[in-house]
A and B are shown apart, each in its own frame.
Chain A
Amino acid sequence: MRHSTFFWFFAPTAAAMLLFIFFPIVSIVTQSIFVPHEAVLIESENCGPFGCKIETTVDQSATEQLRREKPLGRFAGTEIYTDRNHLAFGEVGEAWRASESLGAFFSELVDLPFYRAMAFTLTYTFVCTPFLIMLGFAVAVAVNSLHARLKGLMIFFSLLPMIVPPLIGALVLFWMIDSRGVLGQLISFLAADPGLSLKASTPLVWISLIVYGIWSSAPFAFVVFYAGLQTVPQDTLESAQIDGATRWQQIRYVVIPHLAPLMTFVALIQLMDNFRVLEPIIGFQAEAHAQSLSSFILTDLSGETQQLSSAATTSVLTIIGVAILLSPVLVRTWRDFRGGGH
């Protein structure tokens, strides 16, 4: 295909991505190093019959002029990056000097909002992903042994947690684990603690969010692995049986190696998706106990006064996080590309 033909075919989608994915990245970088101008204030002395007082008023024209001259705002450099709500270098340094052990340092660290969001996001991502892969694999193996009719039915119902909007899925679970809901009552009955509320303690909130994460994404792993199971080479399986391999050995040495590329694929997709976790935190109304990087940005954006610079700075840091998370994949793809000649 000629370059020009390719260009015309590709132009619309390229324009959409350039305008609404690439430029926003430029926009948040700009916003994170510039802060909006403060209003120019004039102090004037106003003298009346009861003495003089100093009044402060906003100089509208001067403010307007300043905004026109420098539309990006005041250059702040890395000021916002290092403030208390983001990387908090000052506070981190102080905590490092003051705390005696590494544990004490980390507990100081997670008191800072950005690091707390980071801690939850990473915990969520790296706990959910392996568990949902294991659960998805187990379900796929079990369902694969069923009668054909039942398989279809199982897939149908298994798709539900994954396909509903994450907010709706989170609410459906949240209403059940509410202390007045059916699961909440069951749990407090099992724990023999009538006052137990999953909403009240930070570890329990984290656990319920992670349970939601596994519940909502295991179906994806299940469906992908189930499709992979249909292509397991029967010859290899049969010769393993003839050699006297037990069922577990067949799974361990034939099925899992065959599905390994699929597991990498599911892990990659789920790492990306879990890293941006947001809706369950809203649905569980868990902002007080758990903030993710995404919900941290959302809080800045949707507050009474929008903290655009702060949100932009967290966004840049989040994108750097995504890049670090993806870097092994990118390096591998780059090597394949160089080596394989594509």
Chain B
Amino acid sequence: MSNPIDRRPLGLKIGLWIFVGLWFLIAAFPFFWTVWGSFKVELDFFSIADWTNAIFGRNTEDAYGRPFAGAGYNGAFVQEAFWQNAINTTIVCVCVVTISLTIGTLGGYALSRSGRKYVFWLLITALMFRALPQVTLVSGYLPVFFDWNVWGYLPTAIIVLVAINQPFTLWMLHSFFESIPKDLDEAAKVDGCTQFQAFRHVIIPVMWPGVITTGLFSFLLAYNDFIVTSLILNEGNRTMVPQIAAFLGTTYTEGNVMFAVAAVVSATVPLFILVMFFQRQIVSGLTAGAVKG
């Protein structure tokens, strides 16, 4: 069979190329622009006089003698101690992913092997929980957390994020475990294993692809969260995203918007690397739910 691309008329081909190129610009250009601009001074990044300043950095050159300056990064990391927020984000993400996968794997496995009617209702409940805006839940936590004196600490935010993460994790892992043949653990049970032993010795060795994909999404949820971390953590324990929001509140007015730009770029770099290595898993994770549903 000949390749259908070859049979496209030239006009259509050019049209497709232009459209794809345009989409590429829309999707990627804002990031390139911001990365480039983060090494300039504010007068170049926001140039009233001439927009080409943002490309060539004329004001940056006047101030620092070269068209690239790390002043924004210096301000964010040294002056405002943004590295502390980066460490907090790392702690939160590692803990959320570990805990959420541990309890989610057990739950998702049980859902896929139970075969009883309540499984359906549990999954529907999870779907409804998934639909709730997080901020409505946070307004439920706050008075209780104040009373118990647990407001402001990293462990509180971690537990909350794990719980908010569970509905999605359960859905993903349930559909993943459904795709592992039931005969595997049935055979182990016939050989005298308990359900947990069957899970441990037969299922755990083959579950990693699905668990890694789910883990990536748990990580993204924890990393990208703004609502929970900004309302539950105190100033000293902030993670990166709420700290960037705080930069806008305090530093923005002082003319140090470049701190926020540098922080935004720094927070995007780990995600960029993540997508580079795990693109296939992310795509398959996004489509897994779709193919099932």
Given A19, A185, A224, A272, which contacts B131 in the complex, CB threshold below 8 Å? A272
| A interface list, Cβ under 8 A from B | 1-3, 5-6, 9-10, 12-14, 16-17, 19-21, 23-28, 31, 138-139, 142-143, 145-146, 152, 154-161, 163-168, 171-173, 175-176, 178, 180-182, 185-186, 215, 219-220, 223-224, 227-228, 247, 261-262, 265-266, 268-269, 272, 275-276, 278-279, 282-283, 285, 293-294, 297-298, 300-302, 306, 308, 311-312, 315-316, 318-319, 322-323, 325-326, 330, 333, 337, 342
Complexed CA–CA distance, A217 and B28 (Å): 14
Check if B275 sits within 8 Å of A1, measured CB to CB.
no
Complexed CA–CA distance, A10 and B195 (Å): 13
Shortest C-beta distance, B29 to chain A (Å), equals 9
Measured between beta carbons, the chain B residues less than 8 angstroms from A146 are 16, 20
Given A158-B27, A298-B227: A318 and B290 interface contact (C-beta under 8 Å): no
Check if A160 sits within 8 Å of B31, measured CB to CB.
yes
Complexed CA–CA distance, A9 and B104 (Å): 9
Check if A13 sits within 8 Å of B135, measured CB to CB.
no
| B interface list, Cβ under 8 A from A | 5, 8, 12, 16, 19-20, 23-24, 26-28, 30-31, 33-34, 37, 45-48, 51, 54, 102-104, 106-107, 109-111, 113-117, 120, 122, 124, 126-144, 159-160, 162-164, 166-167, 169-170, 195-196, 199, 220, 223-227, 230-231, 241, 244-245, 248, 260-261, 264, 267-268, 271-272, 274-276, 279, 282-283, 286-287, 289-291, 293
* Residue of B34, B167, B220, B290 ringed by the most chain A CB atoms within 10 A: B290
Shortest C-beta distance, B181 to chain A (Å), equals 16
**Nearest-neighbor residue (CB-CB) of A342 within chain B:** B120
Check if B268 sits within 8 Å of A9, measured CB to CB.
no
Check if A301 sits within 8 Å of B138, measured CB to CB.
yes
Given A19-B163, A163-B275, A297-B135: A171 and B289 interface contact (C-beta under 8 Å): no
Given A26, A154, A224, A301, which contacts B24 in the complex, CB threshold below 8 Å? A154
Check if B130 sits within 8 Å of A272, measured CB to CB.
yes
Check if B46 sits within 8 Å of A181, measured CB to CB.
yes
Check if A168 sits within 8 Å of B264, measured CB to CB.
yes
Interface of B is mostly: helix
Check if A24 sits within 8 Å of B140, measured CB to CB.
yes
Measured between beta carbons, the chain A residues less than 8 angstroms from B140 are 23-28, 31, 312, 315
* Residue of A23, A28, A168, A319 ringed by the most chain B CB atoms within 10 A: A168
Measured between beta carbons, the chain B residues less than 8 angstroms from A28 are 136, 139-140
Shortest C-beta distance, A32 to chain B (Å), equals 10
Shortest C-beta distance, A235 to chain B (Å), equals 11
Measured between beta carbons, the chain B residues less than 8 angstroms from A2 are 195
Check if A142 sits within 8 Å of B16, measured CB to CB.
yes
Given B137, B163, B244, which contacts A16 in the complex, CB threshold below 8 Å? B163
Given B27, B130, B134, B166, which contacts A13 in the complex, CB threshold below 8 Å? B166
Given B28, B159, B162, which contacts A160 in the complex, CB threshold below 8 Å? B28
9 closest A-B pairs by CB = A24-B140, A20-B163, A9-B110, A276-B133, A13-B107, A315-B136, A180-B46, A27-B140, A165-B224
With A163-B274, A294-B135, A301-B138 given, name 16 new contacts (CB 8 A): A2-B195, A12-B102, A13-B166, A21-B137, A28-B139, A142-B20, A152-B279, A165-B225, A167-B244, A173-B30, A180-B47, A215-B27, A265-B293, A272-B130, A279-B226, A342-B120
Shortest C-beta distance, B204 to chain A (Å), equals 13
Check if A294 sits within 8 Å of B293, measured CB to CB.
no
Complexed CA–CA distance, A278 and B229 (Å): 14
Measured between beta carbons, the chain A residues less than 8 angstroms from B116 are 1, 3, 6
Given A142-B19, A152-B279, A279-B226: A13 and B104 interface contact (C-beta under 8 Å): yes
Shortest C-beta distance, B264 to chain A (Å), equals 5
Measured between beta carbons, the chain B residues less than 8 angstroms from A158 are 23-24, 27
Check if B12 sits within 8 Å of A301, measured CB to CB.
no
Check if A308 sits within 8 Å of B103, measured CB to CB.
no
Shortest C-beta distance, B54 to chain A (Å), equals 6
**Nearest-neighbor residue (CB-CB) of A17 within chain B:** B166
Check if B103 sits within 8 Å of A182, measured CB to CB.
no
Check if B110 sits within 8 Å of A298, measured CB to CB.
no
Shortest C-beta distance, B213 to chain A (Å), equals 13
Complexed CA–CA distance, A23 and B34 (Å): 42
Check if A326 sits within 8 Å of B16, measured CB to CB.
no
Given A21-B163, A319-B132: A167 and B286 interface contact (C-beta under 8 Å): no
